[in-house]
């Protein structure tokens, strides 16, 4: 049985992946260099190699996968980052999972509702679900009209019945779904996001992404510090030496590029820099709980919502993958206010104790609290576009000097914030590189 205290071990740096990728040795020069071995970088490298181009991927961490990581906690494979295969009908990872023979499971759509310390009754739950759908529809209607209003403007359009659950649904669509409050995200960005079927994958999402890096030439523990694209190709500087290539795909998270973690010489165009600066970093963190005797034990793979303040709440995915573990998820400004993984774990324990009582939480153990916001290679959970900034994502897709191409969740207009979006963008960038190099070869 794991310790019930949130001690040094639970707070320790990120746990190791369940299975490291089996990588090929990286060359010192290649047709294309790819910076970052998350979903976008892996997809780009696979597609570039399938197109017959030689590739070298450089990755700052000692593992692949970026914000997708499956680790073993309490004897179970647990996603420390992304877990839901969103927009399954448009998600290339669903195709890859099927090809690899990984089972896929329907993810829950409608949450259970806890009011105070009790389960909402059927009528209350139905009213809550209606408020949830009403707010979603109201935001989308606003977003389709114009790109200048925040999602929060839709709260005033809720009818009297739905208004009773105003805070709970504002939390659900804001910090819980988007990693920011509804006042921060533009209705156009929200409305553009594709949202159909959600799935879970056997063995974890991070493990699937890492498996797809098998055979790729990735240099781990090799952060890019400077990119010189003043000549006909690109030169990428790292503490381990300089790599030369004809073209470059950059999949580093947008907030890290915005703050200048990589120096570009010459600087990136002003339009690109403005677009990077226009996006906002979203915050989202898991606190992984083992709670065998807890009050939610019948609810396998179920999301649980609570009444409470829109900016000060948590959401649960109870008994994920059929075990006795829960994700308690925190998002938005609360993550920054709490300030550390230890404080986030304490907040979750206290919130659940306030609701269910000390006897109920006596058997609760915190197995891990994620630290993506503190992580130097992520800087955020994902990006959102505030009012007026949704178009920044398209600007980031514009090739730079026919040899530098940005890709990642931030460059997707319709699947932003997701692994599926990052994957599609990596493949899109690989296609753009082929076109650009084809033009250069023929010139």
Ligand X SMILES: Cc1cc2nc3c(=O)[nH]c(=O)nc-3n(C[C@H](O)[C@H](O)[C@H](O)COP(=O)(O)OP(=O)(O)OC[C@H]3O[C@@H](n4cnc5c(N)ncnc54)[C@H](O)[C@@H]3O)c2cc1C
Residues that bind ligand X (CB under 6 A): 35-41, 58-61, 66-68, 81-84, 86, 223-224, 251-253, 256, 261-262, 284-286, 370, 372, 377-378, 381-382, 408-409, 417-420, 422
Angle between helices 39-50 and 419-442 (to 10 degrees): 40
278 within 8 A of 189, measured Cβ to Cβ: no
CB nearer ligand X, residue 119 or residue 214: 214
**Token reading at 372:** 């993506």
DSSP E strands in 337-431: the ranges are: 365-369, 382-384, 404-406
Q: Which residue's CB is nearer to ligand X, number 319 or number 370?
A: 370
Residues in the chain: 443
Closer CB to ligand X, 80 or 170, in the complex: 80
Cβ at position 162, least distance to ligand X in Å:
26
CA–CA separation, 415 and 292 (whole Å)? 35
To ligand X, the closest distance from the beta carbon of 278 in angstroms equals 17
Work out whether the CA dihedral 55, 59, 62, 68 comes out positive or negative. Answer: negative
Closer residue to ligand X in complex, CB, 81/181: 81
Q: How far is the CB of 1 from ligand X (least distance, A)?
A: 26
CB nearer to ligand X: pick between 66 and 295: 66
- CA–centroid distance for 132 within its chain: 22
**Strand partners for 136:** none
- Of residues 262 and 437, the one with the C-beta less far from ligand X: 262
CB of 222 to ligand X, least distance (A): 7
Rama region for 215: left / alpha / beta (φ>0; ψ in -120 to 50; rest): left
What percent of the chain is helix, strand and coil (3-state, nearest 5)? 35, 20, 40
Q: For ligand X, which is the closer residue by CB, 170 or 415? A: 415
Minimum Å distance from CB 63 to ligand X?
Answer: 8
Closest CA to 316 of 114, 173, 125: 114
Question: For residue 231, is the peptide bond before it cis, meaning its omega torsion is within 30 degrees of 0?
Answer: no
361 vs 383 by CB, closer to ligand X:
383
Q: How far is the CB of 83 from ligand X (least distance, A)?
A: 4
Rounded-to-integer distance, Cα 36 and Cα 13, Å = 20
Minimal distance, residue 439 CB to ligand X, in Å: 26
Beta strands in 302-359 (DSSP E): 302-306, 315-318, 325-331
- Least separation, in Å, of the C-beta of 371 and ligand X? 10
313 and 175 in contact (C-beta within 8 Å)? yes
Cα distance between residue 177 and residue 182, in whole Å:
10
């Amino acid at each position: 049985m794991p310790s019930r205290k949130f001690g040094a071990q639970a707070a320790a740096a990120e746990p190791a992946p369940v299975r490291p990728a089996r990588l090929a040795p990286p060359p010192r020069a290649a047709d294309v260099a790819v910076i970052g071995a998350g979903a976008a970088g892996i997809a780009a490298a696979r597609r570039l190699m399938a197109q017959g181009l030689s590739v070298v991927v450089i990755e700052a961490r000692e593992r692949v996968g970026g914000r997708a990581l499956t680790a073993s906690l309490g004897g179970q494979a647990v996603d420390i980052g992304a877990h839901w295969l969103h927009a399954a009908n448009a998600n290339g990872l669903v195709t890859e999972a099927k090809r690899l023979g990984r089972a896929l499971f329907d993810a829950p759509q409608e949450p259970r509702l806890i009011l105070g310390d009790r389960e909402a009754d059927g009528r209350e739950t139905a009213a809550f679900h209606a408020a949830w759908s009403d707010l979603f529809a109201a935001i989308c209607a606003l977003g389709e009209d114009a790109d200048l209003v925040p999602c929060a403007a839709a709260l005033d359009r809720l009818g009297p019945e739905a208004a009773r659950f105003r805070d709970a649904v504002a939390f659900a669509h804001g910090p819980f779904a988007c990693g920011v409050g509804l006042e921060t995200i533009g209705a156009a960005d929200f409305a553009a996001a594709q949202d159909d079927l959600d799935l879970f994958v056997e063995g974890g999402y991070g493990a699937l992404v890492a498996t797809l890096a098998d055979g790729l030439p990735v240099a781990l523990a090799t952060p890019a510090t400077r990119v010189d694209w003043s000549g006909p190709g690109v030169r990428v500087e790292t503490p381990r030496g300089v790599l030369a290539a004809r073209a470059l795909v950059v999949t580093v998270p947008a907030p890290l590029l915005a703050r200048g973690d990589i120096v570009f010489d010459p600087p990136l165009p002003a339009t690109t820099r403005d677009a990077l600066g226009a996006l906002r970093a979203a915050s989202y963190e898991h606190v992984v709980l083992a709670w065998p005797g807890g009050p939610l034990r019948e609810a396998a793979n179920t999301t649980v919502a609570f009444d409470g303040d829109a900016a000060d709440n948590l959401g649960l995915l109870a008994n994920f993958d059929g075990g006795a573990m829960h994700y308690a998820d925190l998002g938005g400004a609360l993550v920054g206010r709490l300030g550390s993984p230890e404080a986030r774990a304490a907040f979750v324990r206290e919130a659940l104790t306030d609701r269910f009582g000390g006897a109920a939480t006596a058997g609760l153990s915190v197995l891990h609290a994620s630290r993506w916001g503190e992580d130097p290679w992520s800087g955020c959970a994902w990006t959102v576009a505030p009012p007026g900034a949704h178009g920044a994502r398209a600007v980031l897709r514009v090739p730079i000097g026919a040899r530098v191409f940005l890709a990642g969740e931030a460059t997707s207009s319709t699947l932003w914030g997701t692994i599926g979006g990052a994957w599609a963008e990596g493949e899109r960038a690989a296609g753009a590189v082929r076109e650009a190099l084809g033009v250069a070869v023929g010139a």
